[in-house]
Amino acid sequence: MLARFAFAVAALAAATLPLGSASAQMPIPPLQPDPGEGIFLLMTDIHFDPFAEPSLVPELDRNPVSKWPEIFKNAGMSIQPYGQDSGYALTTSALGAAAAQGMTYDYVLYTGDYLSHGFNANYRRLAGPSPQGLASFAVKTAQFGFHLLSGTFTEIPIFGVMGNTDSVCGDYEIAPNSAFIHGIAGQWAQLSGQPERFSQFRTGGFYKAAHPTVADQDLIVLNNIFWTPRYKDTCNADGGDPGSAMLSWLDWQLYQTRQAGRKAQILMHVPPGINAYSTTHRSGACEARVSSFWRDPFADDFLALMRKYAGTVDYTFSGHTHMDSFTVIRDSDGTPLIASEIAPSVSPIFGNNPAFTAFLYDRQTGAVKDSATFYLSNLEAAAKGAEPEWRLEYVYSKTYSTTDLSPASRADVAERISNDAPLRQQFSALYAVKAEKKQVDPSNWKAFSCAQTATSREAYTACYCAGQ
């Protein structure tokens, strides 16, 4: 651990130099795997925007995905600023930076949102006089995102998750058994390296795969947009209740995993627990302001499943908020059961700096031991034509003085953040990835602090509304 800490300090010092400078061609990797350990990469919420240069849209619409890189390169596009999604320049810059850190990744997780905000309206406005069709263009855009991922990280598995914008029907309107899901299924199955595991994906966008390196572990991938308050299947009025169907499926998959003596990690787009940001922006009595990420009964039913299968699941990975945070799911007696990672986005549309995270883990047990987050430190200058400078933002074990990222360690960090003002300020700065505009401040801190360890509405209300 002392050697790993020394490497982390050296890496932080080296990261004061931008990628591309003479001294930064071979950066000191911030995560140093010991024998039996590996590293995986987590990226989320790129929200690829094919409309960033409107004049290209008709040409993109007419051409296959294989022609898109040439079309974008010839256009000489710049990086998108705050308030916009990720175009070609920002996406390729982020992927190139992730590949340039001197670390070998065992696999890549991408936790959803491939399409840009306002996708459908922008297509109808910009496709030109002879559009090829919204569904076709949406599928090609999502395929292009995975094309860029697989072109950067070759010969390693890539696992994808459906996000709320990933639908032809509209935001939060994913239709089961839709042309969009069918259009990406083959590519996702191939890049996972386990195409036989995708037989059910075409129905609901969820699947279960074997962990690529941990022999007795599974990856369970949810399409939990079905569980969100805003979900509505406008494309298929007779689509049934996919949320309940997926919950039953999850119960069965966890049962099979436990019976086989295996463990599982769960991938999803929208994190479990309480949406602190929405809670602080609603009006009315305190109890009425509390806003869950998921609607009833799915929020409570999921927590019940996690307690039912305690010891089978110890980690979840998600995105959606665009910010860098975490939640700890506890047992009814307060014991930490599951650490839920909420990863920062590549898209800067909500004011955060673009980022991605690498994780150190045990290849035998799957235990997550440490993480390193990288970010674009000069977004405003890069949007005006300067060379993008991707830097190491922080190493988790050094910043929070932990030996691992287990549920118990995360719960300890949450308690220390709530009681230690300097550490709280550090978390607040990292939450929006060191963006100048802070999302967490003394006026709203309690909402975010309670969300870290109170995942049910009742527990959160007791924490947040006490004394109000």
CA–CA distance, 50 with 56 (Å, rounded to integer) = 8
CA–CA distance, 378 with 16 (Å, rounded to integer) = 12
| Phi, psi dihedral angles at 461 (to 5 degrees) | -60, -40
CB of 58 within 8 A of CB of 94? no
Structural tokens at position 364 = 């035998």
CB of 236 within 8 A of CB of 175? yes
CA–CA distance, 88 with 75 (Å, rounded to integer) = 10
H or E stretch including 14?
helix 2-14
CB atoms within 10 A of CB 324: 25
Helix extents (H) in 267-367: 276-280, 286-289, 298-308
pLDDT tens sequence for the chain (468 residues): 434 433 343 443 344 444 443 334 567 899 999 999 999 999 999 999 999 999 999 999 999 999 999 999 988 888 999 999 999 999 999 999 999 999 999 999 999 999 999 999 999 999 989 899 999 999 999 999 999 999 999 999 999 999 999 999 999 999 999 999 999 999 999 999 999 999 889 999 999 999 999 999 999 999 999 999 999 988 887 778 999 999 999 999 999 999 999 999 999 999 999 999 999 999 999 999 999 999 999 999 999 999 999 999 999 999 999 999 999 999 999 999 999 999 999 999 999 999 999 999 999 999 999 999 999 999 999 999 999 999 999 999 999 999 999 999 999 999 999 999 999 999 999 999 999 988 999 999 999 999 999 999 999 999 999 877
Give, in order, the Cα–Cα distances in Å from 285 to each of 16, 29, 250: 46, 49, 35
Biggest alpha carbon distance in the chain? Answer: 64
CB of 142 within 8 A of CB of 114? yes
Q: Which of 379, 389, 468 minimizes the C-alpha distance to 78?
A: 379
What is the value of pTM for the model shown?
0.93
Structural tokens at position 52 = 């960033």
Instruction: Transcribe 198-263 into DSSP letters.
Output: GTTHHHHS-EEEE-SS-TTEEEEE--GGGGSTT---TT-TT---HHHHHHHHHHHHHHHHHHTT-E
CA–CA distance, 247 with 257 (Å, rounded to integer) = 15
